[in-house]
Amino acid sequence: MLKIPTTSIQLPLIKQPSRRQFLRQLSLLPVGLGVGVLPLLSDAADNSVANSVKALTFDVFGTVVDWHGSIIREGQLLAANKGYDVDWAKFAISWRAGYGPAMNKVRNGEMPWTKIDDLHRMILDDLVEEYNLTGMSEAELVHFNEAWHRLSPWPDTVSGLNKLKSKYVITTLSNGNVSLLTHMAKNGGLPWDAILSAELSGHYKPDPEAYLKAADLLSLKPEQVMMVAAHPSDLRAAARTGLKTAYVIRPLERGPGRPVNRNPDGEFDYTAEDFNDLARQLGA
């Protein structure tokens, strides 16, 4: 009877590909194989945008911080001390509503360059009369006007910014003046790499100079910068100057019950539910 040798045979070990290698190989298969190639190619396109960007610039009011809820809280604190009976939600909307027209006066030459702090105070002085906020001292008016320095971050803001900071330079790009943004960052624990403001260009957003100045100060080409904002008009203006765009949805910016634009036409490079979602999409 024939005896078979019992010497063991050593088979070569086959190294399993990593998930990244597997997806890369899968994306190279012909489209006709029907294995979900199109989504993979879409992801690859998104990654190319994310990897070409070196810095993220952030709108602040409404995108990073909750101005509406914060102004309501500040008004309630003021009312507790002064006895005012005011609809503070309506007051907050009125204060914010004066922002655009005030900036337009600067834009059209009716007023010289004026910091947002001073524009906020001009609007507040009118609202004090409209809402009959009598008996406020100058010190109280100054403190109330600086409520904009104390706006609270959204719940996802700090954690999301720290994730994004691990991959990108992150800066403000707000119409708020530098001192306002600096105080806000210190108050809210916002981990910016730099504080950039429209003040540095002498032009308020959406003037193109504001976006281009930010890219120049960062020593980057416009296409290497991504504007992050909760306001489509801000992003459209940034895109016209060559910046990439990320739309972050903030459904409660002006309080509950308002319609939400979810970028249905896909006009922006990214759409995110919050900063943590944006970090996930950008691979940070």
Spans of all domains in the chain:
50-66+153-282, 67-149
The C-alpha atoms of residue 271 and residue 226 are separated, in whole angstroms, by 12
- Domain 50-66+153-282 indexed as CATH 3.40.50.1220: no
pLDDT given at position 4: 44
pLDDT score at 46: 56
Output the pLDDT for position 34.
38
Q: Give residue 258's pLDDT.
A: 87
What does the pLDDT read at residue 262? 87
**Geometric angle at alpha carbon 239, from 167 and 282, rounded to 5°:** 25
270, 248 in Cβ contact below 8 A?
A: no
Amino acid at 173: L
Q: Which helix (H) or strand (E) holds 94?
A: helix 88-97
Question: What integer pLDDT is reported at residue 31 of this predicted model?
Answer: 38
- Report how far residue 252's alpha carbon sits from residue 87's, in angstroms, rounded to the nearest whole number: 18
> How far is residue 232's CA from residue 157's CA, in Å, rounded to a whole number?
19
Sign of the Cα pseudo-torsion (255, 267, 116, 190, in order) = positive
Q: Which CATH number fits domain 67-149: 1.10.150.240, 2.30.30.90, 3.40.50.300, 1.20.1260.10?
A: 1.10.150.240
Residues of the chain with pLDDT under 50: 1-15, 18-45
